[in-house]
Structures are given as structure tokens and as C-alpha cells.
Amino acid sequence: MKESVQLTKEMFQPVKMDNMAQNQISRPSVGFWKDVWRRFYRNAGAMIGVVLLAIILFFTFIGPSMGKTDYQTQNLSLQDMEPTIQSLISGDDYRFGTDNLGRDLWTRVWYGTKISLMIAFLAAILEIALGVMIGVISGYFGGIVDDILQRVIEVLYSIPNTIVVILLLIVFEPGILPIALALALTNWLPTARVVRAQVLKLKSQEYVLAAKTLGASHFRIMFKHLLPNVIGPIIVAIMFAIPTAIFYEAFLSFIGLGIRPPEASLGVIINDGAKNLQIFPHELLIPAIVLGTMMLSFNLIGDGLRDALDPRMRK
């Protein structure tokens, strides 16, 4: 019995406590944005979206210079030429074929993609700027200011966006800037509500109280202390606003209220191709595939950013 007790004491010895080792951090500190990038990089869907968007952007800027002619040159002797695998690979002929006026579809599709992206980015920047400004002011001041702004937002929510956009474009001459302004004036409402909710949650934090105590102005508190802390939802809102603007621009151009011919956008090209859908489907399918792929890539990236910026998604 004594031997077993002695053996047990020899086998199990108390561990020496090292207070210095307990206070050491075994894992190196990782910054917020580095952690966001790491989680975004591990998201397979988001990386697929990045690759698809990179390919589209590459051909958007390089593709028109690779075409046989510019996007406006007509050649009626080559109208409605269908694409072939050989022409797509070699580039010796019209890669995407031609439309009903003999224009190079390859050049028109990538030039139209550039125009659609320009309108989408401009509209997204304008609507995010307007939504952020209204949301921050409404959430920070509260009270009567918040009540008035929220009633205005509720009234605007009750009006269909498409009707407002169409009415604005009837008043103003269609073009890149008018279309972007019309889209921005109708699509800023969700951003304003998201930013307002975040500001309402953050304005009672200690650092805001400290800034008020030190005499910081309302403008400084709103845009120096509160706005940087809601940058995550704003980035996600931008990534979802761009495909929405792309869709609206294509729809407006399709019904004749967007970019006017002979200028090209994806909506204009799809509208032209829809007239010959049953005979020459490539004139519609090719720009529609580019449009769908572009919207899919932005949505995948937006989903990935939303997950990466959400602290609840951390493992």
C-alpha cells in the first residue's frame, strides 16, 4: 500500500505556476481589417465573385481595342453574323458575331459594359453619400429631426422606385449623369435606415460622451467618431447598390429611357438583340450573360463582405 502511494506521488507532481507565462499572448495580435480580409479570403463564393469581376473589368477596358471595328461602325454586308468557336479563340474574325447593322458585337458588348459600370458606380456613390448623410443626421439628433426624416422616408418608400425614375428621366434628357442622379434619388432609403440604426446604437457609447465633454462639435462627432464605426455596413451597402443600379440602367435602356442609340450600354444591346431573338439568339444571349455574370459577381462579393465584417461570424 505504501509502495503504491509512493508510486502515485512520483507519477503525479504538481505543476509549477508561472505568472509571467500566464500573461503572455500566445497568438499575435491581428488588426480588424486584416481579420476581415482573412475571413473574406476564406470565403469561396466571394473569391469566385472577385475572379469573375476581375475578368469582366479586364475585358471592359481592354476588350474594345481588341475588336475588328469600333462600337458604331456599320457594315450591312456582314449583318447578323453568328459567332464561332474558331473566331472566339483566334480573334481573326468577329468574336461575338455582328448585330442587325453589321456592328461588331465584341466591341459593343464591352464598351456597353463600361458605360453600364460607369452609371452604376456613379449612382452607387451618390446614393450612398445621400443615405449616409441622412442616416447619420437622423440617428444622431433624434427627436423631432428623426421623426420628420423617418416620415419622409416612409412616404418615399410607399412610391414605387421605377415610377419615380421614369418620371425623372422624362423631365431630364437621358444620359449618364441624369440616369445616375435618378437612380441615386430613389435608392438611398435602405442605406439611410441601416446607418440610422447603427448610429442610434453607437451614440450612447463612452467615447461619444467623452467627445461631447471635450467640446467637440456635432459635425465632428458625427463624421469623425460615429461614421468610421459604421463603415462596415456602408461598404456592404455599396456592393449591393452597384448591381441594383446595373439592373435599373439595363431596364431603362431596354424600354428606351436610358442611353440613347447610337451610344451603347448593355440595356441598349439587349434591346436590339431582343428583336431578333428567335432568328439570331446570340445578339441577346451574349450581353445578357455578361450582365448576369457581372451582377452575380457583385452579389457574391457583397455576401462575402457582409459575413467578413459581421463580428458574429467569427469562429
Does residue 265 or residue 84 have the better pLDDT?
A: 265
Q: CA–CA separation, 2 vs 23, rounded Å?
A: 40
Burial class (CB in 10 A: 0-12, 13-18, 19+), 204: exposed
Most confident of 55-59, 164-168, 198-202, 240-244: 55-59
- pLDDT tops 90 at residue 58: yes
Q: What is the pLDDT of residue 207?
A: 85
Show me where the domains of the chain are located. Answer: 32-313
Q: Does domain 32-313 have CATH number 1.10.3720.10?
A: yes
Q: What is the mean pLDDT of the chain?
A: 83
Q: CA–CA separation, 309 vs 238, rounded Å?
A: 14
The per-residue pLDDT for range 117-144, each reduced to its tens digit, is 999 999 999 999 999 999 999 998 888 9
The model's confidence at residue 293, banded by pLDDT at 50, 70 and 90, is very high
- pLDDT tops 90 at residue 57: yes
What mean pLDDT comes out for the span 43-66?
A: 92
Does residue 311 or residue 284 have the better pLDDT?
A: 284
Buried b (16+ CB within 10 A) or exposed e, 72-109: eebeeebbebebeeebeeeeebbbbbbbbbbbbbbbbb
- pLDDT tops 80 at residue 89: no
The model's confidence at residue 24, banded by pLDDT at 50, 70 and 90, is low
Q: What is the pLDDT of residue 92?
A: 65
Grid coordinates representing 234? 456602408
Q: What is the pLDDT of residue 7?
A: 54
The model's confidence at residue 16, banded by pLDDT at 50, 70 and 90, is low
Percentages helix, strand, coil for the chain (3-state, rounded to 5) are 75, 0, 25
Does residue 163 or residue 122 have the better pLDDT?
A: 122
What mean pLDDT comes out for the span 81-100?
A: 77
Q: What is the pLDDT of residue 63?
A: 86
